[in-house]
Chain A
């Protein structure tokens, strides 16, 4: 890692030197300052106002549904509703919407429900929550929380608008997150299987696009797996560590693209990942791991009794913290970024546009780092837990 960081540092330094020595740096500063008004005046205040305050509910009421009494009116709550909506999973792939005309640009995804029989239909039937979808005599409606509820033909949702008390069918739909998961899995399969094949074909030398990941694979083996798990056992964990690292990293990076997907910022996904780490840790654990949990060697008897429940709790806290860390980091990044972009609509002036551009640019750069860092931390801590599970202790002298 030292070599690696040294190399990167020297590379970055040369780039910085290139930029900041002589005229280039003055030129860049000049271009930045000169372009600030362009960003600021790109949206004149009037057009922004019209765009934002065009009431969303008008188009909805035109479709004849009386569910929009809860639609947010002022801009701040509109922005909040938009951000809240973005961090949720969704049943259609919405790239962008025009609030003035009420048009949504994107494509629908299949809905698969189990409700005393299989119901399969396209999510375009919901018309983004405005219409009631009918399938084999049952009626379904999309709630504000992006969940599907069973309703009558008129589509009445009982109870609070954000937490309806209607019955919910079992939802196996291909949602936006599921589609992304499938896409990333396919991408990873193609990339890494071609990388693996190229080793055989070229006699130990990687080829093709996948070779840019070779240094990372070696880094995970030499700097994460071997030091934490040990020479003897690391091999059987390598496949999982590599998978989890690239899976989390790719999903984090995809979350930063303008596609607006938020997969690793979904607690169900991180729960699934953490559960796999939990199962692997505990199913491959050796005797000494359980010995250290239930009967800590080398401490007096009363301490053994006190330590056992604490250590047992630790078994569950470890994967829990894995789950919360990834989820919270990614969702916090998305919320902060979208709030900064929303500054444009709050200030409605050249100042807000410039501020929003500069701040969101800076935070985006940090988020790219966070995407890699969170994948690294998840892999690193998983390796640490695996290492504690297979560690072999020699208690003769060590604990006295």
Chain B
């Protein structure tokens, strides 16, 4: 049972990493293009990252239980 769990945890982390990475990268691009909108972009970025993180943690707990 442990090895499928480890693989599952790895998959969860890869998925969440890709998701948050894309958000961060896009936010960087957006801030570079519109430095005046930094505050709004950061807020939106944090919310989106938190939502993905929540799902990632939920999946990690499902894997570790």
Contact = CB atoms under 8 A, between A and B. Distances in A.
A380 B53 contact: no
B34 to A, nearest CB: 12
A227 to B, nearest CB: 8
A328 B43 contact: no
Contacts of A381: 47, 50
Interface residues of A, number: 17
Given A325-B54, A328-B61, A329-B57, A376 B47 contact: no
Nearest to B47: A380
Interface in A290-342: 321-322, 324-325, 328-329, 332
A384 interface: yes
A373 to B, nearest CB: 7
Interface string A217-229: 0000001000000
Given A5-B38, A5-B39, A324 B46 contact: no
B7 interface: no
A328 B46 contact: no
B60 A2 contact: no
A1 to B, nearest CB: 4
Interface residues of B, number: 16
Contacts of B46: 373, 376-377, 380
B1 interface: no
A376 B47 CA distance: 10
Nearest to B58: A324
Contacts of B54: 321-322, 324-325
Choose among A223, A328, A380 the residue with the greatest number of B CB atoms under 10 Å from its CB. A328
Interface in A193-227: 223
Contact of B57 (A1, A5, A324): A324
B65 to A, nearest CB: 12
B39 A325 contact: no
A5 B55 CA distance: 29
Contacts of A376: 46
Given A1-B43, A5-B38, A5-B39, A325 B61 contact: no
Interface string B8-43: 000000000000000000000000000010110011
A324 B42 CA distance: 23
Nearest to A323: B54
A384 B47 CA distance: 10
A299 B41 CA distance: 30
A40 B57 CA distance: 35
Contacts of B38: 2, 5
23 contacts: A1-B42, A1-B43, A5-B38, A223-B39, A223-B43, A321-B54, A321-B55, A322-B54, A324-B57, A324-B58, A324-B61, A325-B50, A325-B53, A325-B54, A328-B58, A328-B61, A329-B53, A332-B57, A376-B46, A377-B46, A377-B50, A380-B46, A381-B50
Given A5-B39, A329-B57, 12 more contacts: A5-B38, A223-B39, A321-B54, A324-B54, A325-B50, A325-B57, A328-B57, A329-B53, A373-B46, A377-B47, A381-B47, A384-B47
Interface of A: 1-2, 5, 223, 321-322, 324-325, 328-329, 332, 373, 376-377, 380-381, 384
Closest 6 CB pairs of A and B: A328-B57, A1-B39, A2-B39, A321-B54, A325-B54, A377-B50
